Structure formats: C-alpha cells, structure tokens
Amino acid sequence: MNTIPASRARRATAIVLGLFAWLGAVNPAAAQDAYPTKPITLVVPYPPGGSNDVFARTIAKELADILKQPVIVDNRPGASGTTGTAAVARAPADGYTLVAVSSSMTTNAAIQSKMPFDPVKDLACVAMFAEGPFIVAVNNAFPAKTPTELLQAIRSQPGKLNYASSGTGSVNQFGTELLKAQAGNLFITHIPYRGMGPAVTDLISGQVQVLMASGPSLLPMVRAGRVRAVGITSLKPSPIAPDLTPMATAVPGYEFSLWWGLLAPAATPAAVVNKLNAAVNQALAKPAIKSQFLTEGAEARALTPAQFGGVVARDVARWKRLAAQQHIVAE
C-alpha cells in the first residue's frame, strides 16, 4: 500500500488550512455565516451572584444550546462595571468576546469624565435581556402609604428627611433625583452607601426614610413586614408587584426602569450581531425564561439591535442632562 511521506502530508494540511483562511479573508460573509465556530466569552463586569450575573448566565446557557458552541461566563468586576466593559470594547470585533451590562453603564457615563470607553461609539448593541421598574419603600414608622402621601410627607419637612442609594451615581440615585426633578419642590437629602445591603439595613432601622431599588432588593423585606412599599416606578401597574401604585399617579409622566442587555465591540459585523440578536430573542420567547426573569424583578424584553441602541443613546443623553441639573457628581 502506498503511503504519503509525513512531510508532504504536513504541507498538504497547511495548504488546505491556508486556503480556508484565504477564503475567509476574501469572503468574510462566508466566515460570518459560519459563526460561531469556537467558544464565546461573555464578560460580566460585576461579581457573581447579582442580577447582572443571573441574567447573563441564564442567557449564556440558552445561547450555547441555540448556537451549538460553549458560552463561557467570565466575571471581571471593578470600577462599577467599567473595568470589564472597557476590556470588551478593546477586544477583537469578531463576536467571540461579549459583555452583559445594565443601565448602570449609562449612569456611570453621565458622571465619569474619564471613562475608558464611549458606551455609544465603542460598543455595538446586540440585544436587551430584560427591563424592570424600581420599588419605592419607606421605613415602617414613616407616615406615607401611597405615592401622593410620600410627596406630601417630604414637602412637609423640607431638607429634614433622607433617601438612601447604593452609591453616588448609582441608578438608585438617578431614579430618585429624576423623581425630585419632575415633582418639583421636593427637598430630601441623598445618603450614599457602599452597596444595597447597608442601605436596606439603615432603611429598616430608620437612619434613612426612603429607598428606591429593584424588586429583589426590597420585596423580600416588604413581604416580611420590615419596610413598607409605597409605590412602583412603572407608568402602569407592573407584574413585578401588581398591587403597588405607580409613582406616576402623583407625578404625571414619571417612569424609571433598570435594563440589562448584551453588547459587543463596535466594529462587530452586522451579520454576527443579528445572529446573536435572533438567538437571544429566541431564548426570551420561552415561558420558562420569562417566568425566571419575573422572579428577578424584570420582564423579558426582545428588541432589535437598532432599538436597543436607541435606548442606550437616549439614556446616556438624558442622564447627563439630569446629572447637570441635579448636581450629581462622581465621588
């Protein structure tokens, strides 16, 4: 039996591989159609366990099943999400390095003058995961039980009451400052904490009187009778907490929500972005995913890349305006 010398076989293999590489270079559309051909890394710019991590890991599992390639979740916390997101903005724009972010990226952009990336120009919006309103809660000794009573109580003691947030420039602060700006004549002092845990603790003890936060952060304490919910920041009653009255009943037009979604480096080919978008939206259509997201205080939200990009650009612009108006500055 004739055999091919090893050196000739190696040369033949190299020629074939080189041909495939050349075909991909001269016909990038063919390479994009084949995407993905290797594992995808999904960066979560926060520690494990939070809402960003939960949503990212849920979607990562679904993407792996749909795209038939492993999706590896890589937690890279630091600088309120900026460190991991910046690393993805600098990564090759080939669809193999993605980042799961929340709308806190846009509030960071509003107050950080030296962010290492531009959230609109340096990243491509791929797909939204979910969106959810905040719960507005008060200490049990506080007299308000409705949105209208809350505003009346604050106005009756101008400058004497405090609201908590998880930190300066946090989405909690922006949501509350937006309420102050739209309501007018609402003087309540901001007390920033290092994280949501100590903020909730001081709300329970009465060190602060008001806190606006996500359903998972506050609803367990509400149901346990430790704090009282007085409203929700959706325009209409929300399935997150259908018994709560929208703050818009007291401040017409007021609405505030937190969203989560998937981004890629800015130059990622449209074909790759669209393929990822279709896969995410396919996952979001599953009843089990919708139900799981509701337990995390959010509703699954399927958008096109262009629609999601519009949300990000709008939020960056409006939070910059609010930061200037309400004098929100970085620590």
User: Is the Cα torsion angle 202, 205, 208, 213 positive or negative in sign?
Assistant: positive
Among 201, 225, 249, where does a domain finish? 249
Among 249, 270, 303, where does a domain finish? 249
- Does the residue 196 lie in any domain? yes
Per-residue pLDDT averaged across 55-76, rounded? 98
Helix (H) or strand (E) holding 288: helix 287-295
- Does the residue 30 lie in any domain? no
Q: Tell whether the model's pLDDT for residue 314 goes beyond 90.
A: yes
- Does the residue 90 lie in any domain? yes
Distance (Å) of CA 198 to CA 129, 202, 207, 217, 279: 28, 6, 11, 11, 38
Residues 124-146: tens digit of each pLDDT: 999 999 999 999 999 999 999 99
Predicted confidence at residue 331, as pLDDT, reads 73
What does the DSSP 8-state code read for residue 199? H
Rounded Cα distance, 71 and 97, in Å: 10
Q: Tell whether the model's pLDDT for residue 100 goes beyond 90.
A: yes
Residues 272-288: tens digit of each pLDDT: 999 999 999 999 999 99
What are the tokens at 188? 């309540």
Residues 151-186: tens digit of each pLDDT: 999 999 999 999 999 999 999 999 999 999 999 999
- Does the residue 281 lie in any domain? yes
Contact 203, 139 (CB under 8 A): yes
Among 249, 270, 305, where does a domain finish? 249
Contact 186, 179 (CB under 8 A): yes
Per-residue pLDDT averaged across 80-104, rounded? 97
Task: Please tell me whether residues 181 and 109 are part of one structural domain.
Answer: no
Task: Please tell me whether residues 112 and 126 are part of one structural domain.
Answer: yes
- Dmax over CA atoms of the chain, in Å, equals 99
At residue 262, φ and ψ (nearest 5 deg) are: -115, 130
At residue 2, φ and ψ (nearest 5 deg) are: -75, 140
Task: Please tell me whether residues 151 and 225 are part of one structural domain.
Answer: yes
Contact 65, 280 (CB under 8 A): no
- Does the residue 320 lie in any domain? yes
What are the tokens at 63? 């993407």
Task: Please tell me whether residues 113 and 183 are part of one structural domain.
Answer: no
Contact 99, 262 (CB under 8 A): yes
- Does the residue 23 lie in any domain? no
Q: Output the domain CATH number for residue 287.
A: 3.40.190.150
- Which neighbouring-strand residues pair with 287? none
Cβ atoms within 10 Å, residue 253: 7
Q: Output the domain CATH number for residue 207.
A: 3.40.190.10
Task: Please tell me whether residues 243 and 137 are part of one structural domain.
Answer: yes
Task: Please tell me whether residues 242 and 144 are part of one structural domain.
Answer: yes
Task: Please tell me whether residues 282 and 231 are part of one structural domain.
Answer: no
Per-residue pLDDT averaged across 36-50, rounded? 96
- Does the residue 208 lie in any domain? yes
Residues 283-305: tens digit of each pLDDT: 999 999 999 999 999 999 999 99
Domain that holds residue 232: 133-249
What are the tokens at 6? 């090893």
Rounded Cα distance, 179 and 298, in Å: 20
Task: Please tell me whether residues 82 and 222 are part of one structural domain.
Answer: no
Task: Please tell me whether residues 99 and 156 are part of one structural domain.
Answer: no
Q: 94 by DSSP, 3-state: which?
A: coil
Q: Tell whether the model's pLDDT for residue 19 goes beyond 60.
A: no
Predicted confidence at residue 27, as pLDDT, reads 52
Per-residue pLDDT averaged across 106-124, rounded? 94
Task: Please tell me whether residues 146 and 222 are part of one structural domain.
Answer: yes
What is the number of structural domains in the chain? 2
Rounded Cα distance, 125 and 312, in Å: 8
Distance (Å) of CA 126 to CA 81, 89, 100, 264: 18, 13, 10, 7
Task: Please tell me whether residues 245 and 272 are part of one structural domain.
Answer: no
Mean pLDDT of the chain: 92
Predicted confidence at residue 10, as pLDDT, reads 54
- Does the residue 312 lie in any domain? yes
Residue 316, CA atoms < 13 Å, CB-side half-sphere: 15
pLDDT band per the 50, 70, 90 thresholds, residue 213: very high
Whether the ω angle into residue 36 lies within 30 degrees of 0, i.e. cis, is: yes
Q: Look at 118 and 11; give whichever has higher pLDDT.
A: 118
For residue 182, what are the contacts with CB-CB under 8 A and spacing of at least 6?
Answer: 251, 253, 254
Distance (Å) of CA 202 to CA 165, 219, 261: 11, 16, 31
Predicted confidence at residue 113, as pLDDT, reads 84
Prediction pTM value: 0.88
Rounded Cα distance, 89 and 265, in Å: 5
Predicted confidence at residue 157, as pLDDT, reads 96
Task: Please tell me whether residues 122 and 156 are part of one structural domain.
Answer: no
